[in-house]
Structure 1
Amino acid sequence: MDRNSPTEEKANGSKSPTRNGDIKRPHYDRTDTAASGWATDNEDEKPKEPQQSDYDKKKQTFITRAVWTFVMIAIFFGSMFAGHIYVIIIVTAVQIISFKEVIAIANVPSRARSLRFTKTLNWYFLGSTMYFLYGESVIYYFKHIVLIDRVLLPFATHHRFISFMLYVMGFVFFVTSLQKGHYRFQFTQFAWTHMALYLIVVQAHFIMNNIFEGMIWFFLPVSLVITNDIFAYVCGITFGRTQLIKLSPKKTVEGFVGAWICTILIGGGITNILMRYKYFICPVNDLGANVFTGLQCEPNPVFIAHTYTIPFIPPTYTFLPTTITVSPMQFHILFMATFASLIAPFGGFFASGLKRTFNIKDFGDSIPGHGGMTDRMDCQFIMGFFAFMYYQSFIAVYKASIGSVIETAITGLSAEEQMEVVKGLTKHLYNQGAVGAKVPEFLNDNLVNLLARR
C-alpha cells in the first residue's frame, strides 16, 4: 500500500488532502514566518527595527534624568523666590503624589475593582487628615485673621471636633463596607492607608510648619539631604570599599562618612549666606510676600553673632585666638547636618526595604528618569520632621503674639470682659500718645450704650 494513500493517512490520524485523490501536500518551509504564522511574499521588503544598544539606552536615560533634574531645580527655586504660598502648594502636591504611590504598591487591582469603595476610602482618609493638619497650622499661625471672622470662627473653635467626626464617619463607612471573603484584603488596605498617612502626610505637615516659621527652616533641611546624597555618591565611587548596609549594596562606609564631613562644611556655608536675608529668617506674616518685597521682623537671637571664649586655649598661648565671634546658628547647623548625614539616609534604607518587599524597582514613574516622587522624598520627610522638632525645642522664641492674645480674649472672656479689655487698651494707647482724646471717649460712650442694650 502506498504510504501516502488516504486510507493509511486516516489510519495514522491524519486528514486526506482531498476527497477524490492522493494528492501530495507541497512542503513549506516555516522557519521564517510572518505574524500570521506563514511566510509572505513581501517579507524581505519590510525594514527591520534596529535594536537599541545598551550605550544608547544609558545615554537616553542620562539625558532624561539630567533634563528633569534641572526642571525640578527650577521649580524648587522658582517657587521659593515667588513666595511661601507657592512652596506650600508644591509640598501639598508632593505629599498627595507620594501618598498615591505608596497606596498603589499594596493594591490588588482585581480585588479593588470588585470592592467599590476601596479607593474612595483611601482618598477620604487623606482628605480628612489634611483638613485636620492644615487647619491646625492655619489656626496657629493666623489666629489674628481666623478668630475675628464671623464665618471662620465656628470652624476654628470647633476644628478638632469637626476633624474627629470626619474621621469617625470614614471609620463607620469602612466597617459597613466589609464584605465576606475580602476581610483580609480590606483590613490590609485600612492598615496600609494609615501607615501611609503617618509616614507621608503627617511628616509633610511639619514641613509645612517649617515654612511658616521661616523659609530657612524649609530650605536648609532640603539642601542638607540633597548635599549629603550627592557627596555620598561622589565619595562612594571615589574611595568606597566597605559595604554599609545590605538593603542598599552600593552604599559604602567611606561614602557615608565622607558625605557627613562634606555636608557639615557646605551646610555651614549655606547657613552663613541665608542668615543675611530677612526673607529667609523671618516667620510668615504676609503670604503675599516674595523675594523682591521681602519680610520684616526682629531676627531670632540665634541669627545674631555672639563672642565666645575658647576655654581650652591656655592664656600663655598668645599666638592663638582666645575668643570667637559667631552666630549660634552655626553650632545648630552642626547637629542638623549630622542628622541629615547619619539618620536621614535610613529613611531611604526603609524605602529600599519596602520596595524589596514588593519586588519593585521604583515607587512609580511620576518623574521621568527618576522614578516615583517617593523615591526622591524618602529622606526628606524624616528630615523635615526632625527640623521642626529641633527648632521648637532649641531655637524657637516663645512670646505673646497678637493671635494668641486675641484667642485668649475670645475663648476665655465674656463679651463684657472683652469690652473692658478694649477700653483698657484704648486708655493705655491714649496715655502713650498713640491715639487722640476723642478715641477713648467715642469707644467709652458706644460701649456703654451697647452694654445697656444687652
Structure 2
Amino acid sequence: MAKPRRGVQFQHRGSNHHNGRRPSISESDSVSEPGSPTGAAMNGKLETSKEEDESPPQSEYEKKKQNFITRAIWTLVMMAAFFTAMFSGHLYIIAIITGIQVMSFKEVIAIANVPSRAKNLRFTRSLNWYFLGTTMYFLYGESVIYYFKHIVLVDKVLLPFATHHRFISFMLYVIGFVFFVGSLQKGHYRFQFTQFAWTHMALYLIVVQAHFVMNNIFEGMIWFFLPASLVITNDIFAYICGIAFGRTQLIKLSPKKTVEGFVGAWVCTIFFGFAMTNVLMRYKYFICPVNDLGANIFTGLECTPNPVFIPQAYHIPSIVTDIPLPGSLHIPSIVHVAPMQFHILVFATFASLIAPFGGFFASGLKRTFKVKDFGESIPGHGGITDRMDCQFIMGFFAFMYYQSFIAVYKANVGDVIQTAIQGLDHEEMVEVVKGLSKHLVNQGVVQETVLECWTGVVGNRR
C-alpha cells in the first residue's frame, strides 16, 4: 500500500482561495497577471484589507483619551447652554428644568421596564406618561397660583382652574388610578404592580424634588444657581483631592470615593461658596424674586433686597480682640458681614456631606439593575440622571432651608386679592375697593375724581 505523500497541496484546497472555491476567471487573471491594471487593483485591495485585519485594536489608553475628549466637549456645550439660558431669563431656566424632569423620569422608568412584557400590555407606558403629566400639572399649577395669583385670580378664564386646581388634579389622578386597576391582566399582576410602584417612586424622587428647584428660581436666581454650583464644585474637588490625597475608601457603593477626597472637597466648597456669594449678592438679577418673567441679565430686576443680603455689624468678643499680634496687626472689634455668608456655610456643608449620598443612592440603583449609566442622553456622560442625582436633593434642601430660615413673609398684592376673592362676596369686595380708593385720595396718590367716578359706577349698577 502506497504511503500518502507529504507536502502535496491540491489546487482546489489551496490557501490562496477562500471557502474552498475554485478560482473564477477574473480571480485567475488577477492572480496570474499581477502586472495588469485589474490585478494591481485587486492586489491593492487585498493588501489594504490585510493591513486592516492586522491593525492592532484600540488600546485602553486611546479609549480613555477619546472618552475624555468627548466628555470635555459636551461639558463645555452644557455649560454654554446653561449660562446662556440663565442670563436670558427665568423662563429659559424653567424650560431646562422641565426638560430635565422629563428625561430623568424616562431614564429611571426605562431601567426597570421589561420590554417583552411591556409589549404584551397595552397601557403600561401610556399610564407612566399619564401619571407624569398629572403630577406636573398639579405641581406647576401650585407654583403659578402661588407666585402669580395677582394675575391668575383676576382672569375670568383662569379663575375657575385656579380656585379648583387641587380638586381637578386629584380627579385626574383618580382617573389614572381607575384605569390602571381596569387594565390589570391575569398572569402580569406582579409586573404591573411593580411598574405602578416604580412609577410613583420616580415621580417623588425626580419630579417632586425638581419642582422645588423650580420654586427656588421664582424666589430668586441665587437660590437656584448657588446650590447647583456648590454641588458641581464639590464633585470637581472631590475628584482632585481624591487623586492627590485619597487613601481610605469612603463607601463600598463607590469604590473610587475616598475619605480624604470627601473632606478636602468640603473645605474647598466652603471657600468657593463664600467667594461666589460675595459676587452674586451685588446683582439684583440674582437676589430679587421673579416679578417679571421677561427680565434678563441686561434689563435686570428691581426689589427691596432680603435683609439676609444686607451687611450687618457684629461685635467681636474682647477675648478675641485682645489676642496680641505681631507688628501693627490687630483684630477689629466690629465687622460688617451679610448674614448670607453664614448661611452659605450650611449650604456648602450639605452640598459636601449629604448631597453626595444622592449619587451613592443612584449608584446602588444602577448596581441593582446591573447597568453602567441611566442612559446615553449626553455623550461621554451617560444619562441626564447620572449628572443630576445630587442636584435633586440639594435643590429640595435649598427650598426647605430658605422657607424656614431666610424667607420674609409679608402680605402682597396676590395674597390680598386671593383673600378677597375667596372670603368676600361681591358687595363686600365693592366696599373694600371704595375704602382703598378713599384712602388713596386722602394720601394724595390719586385724584378725587377717581373716587367720584367709581362711586357713580357702583351706584348705577345698583
Tell me, yes or no, if structure 1 residue 138 matches structure 2 residue 144: yes
Match of 1:100, SS state, is helix
TM-score for the superposition, normalised by structure 1:
0.91
Cα deviation, 1:145-181, whole Å, max 9, x if unaligned, reads 0000000000000000000000000000000000001
Cα deviation, 1:75-99, whole Å, max 9, x if unaligned, reads 1100000000000000000110000
Q: Contact 1:102–1:363 (CA<8 Å) still a contact in 2?
A: yes
**Equivalent position to 1:372, from 380, 383, 390:** 383
Aligned to 1:331: 342
Aligned to 1:16: none
Aligned to 2:371: 360
Aligned to 1:15: none
Match of 2:403, SS state, is helix
Tell me, yes or no, if structure 1 residue 89 matches structure 2 residue 95: yes
TM-fit CA distance, 1:44 = 3.9
TM-fit CA distance, 1:300 = 0.1
**Equivalent position to 1:126, from 107, 122, 132:** 132
| Structure-2 change in CA distance of 1:29 and 1:346 (3 Å) | farther
Aligned to 2:13: 28
TM-fit CA distance, 1:38 = 7.0
Aligned to 2:235: 229
Q: Contact 2:12–2:20 (CA<8 Å) still a contact in 1?
A: no
Tell me, yes or no, if structure 1 residue 76 matches structure 2 residue 74: no
TM-fit CA distance, 1:100 = 0.3
Match of 1:313, SS state, is helix
Distance in 2 (CA, whole Å) between partners of 1:232 and 1:289 is 36
| Structure-2 change in CA distance of 1:103 and 1:419 (3 Å) | same
The residue type paired with residue 138 of structure 1 is: V
Aligned to 2:410: 399
Question: Which shows bigger deviation, 38-47 or 243-252?
Answer: 38-47
Aligned to 1:167: 173
Distance in 1 (CA, whole Å) between partners of 2:162 and 2:17 is 73
Q: Contact 1:313–1:320 (CA<8 Å) still a contact in 2?
A: no
What is the 5 A alignment of 1:159-308?
159-308=165-314
Distance in 1 (CA, whole Å) between partners of 2:450 and 2:441 is 8
Aligned to 1:110: 116
Match of 1:379, SS state, is helix
RMSD over aligned CA atoms reads: 2.3
Runs of 5+ unmatched residues, structure 1: 3-24
Q: Contact 2:362–2:389 (CA<8 Å) still a contact in 1?
A: yes
| Structure-2 change in CA distance of 1:181 and 1:392 (3 Å) | same
TM-fit CA distance, 1:53 = 2.6
TM-fit CA distance, 1:314 = 5.1
Cα deviation, 1:262-309, whole Å, max 9, x if unaligned, reads 000000100000000000000000000000000000000000000111
Q: Contact 1:313–1:322 (CA<8 Å) still a contact in 2?
A: no
Tell me, yes or no, if structure 1 residue 150 matches structure 2 residue 156: yes
Runs of 5+ unmatched residues, structure 2: 3-9, 28-41, 325-329
User: Larger helix proportion, structure 1 or 2?
Assistant: 2
Match of 1:378, SS state, is helix
Cα deviation, 1:231-270, whole Å, max 9, x if unaligned, reads 0000000011000000000000000000000000000100
**Equivalent position to 2:58, from 52, 55, 67:** 52
Match of 2:436, SS state, is helix
- Percentage identity across aligned positions? 74
The residue type paired with residue 420 of structure 1 is: E
TM-fit CA distance, 1:28 = 3.4
Aligned to 2:33: none
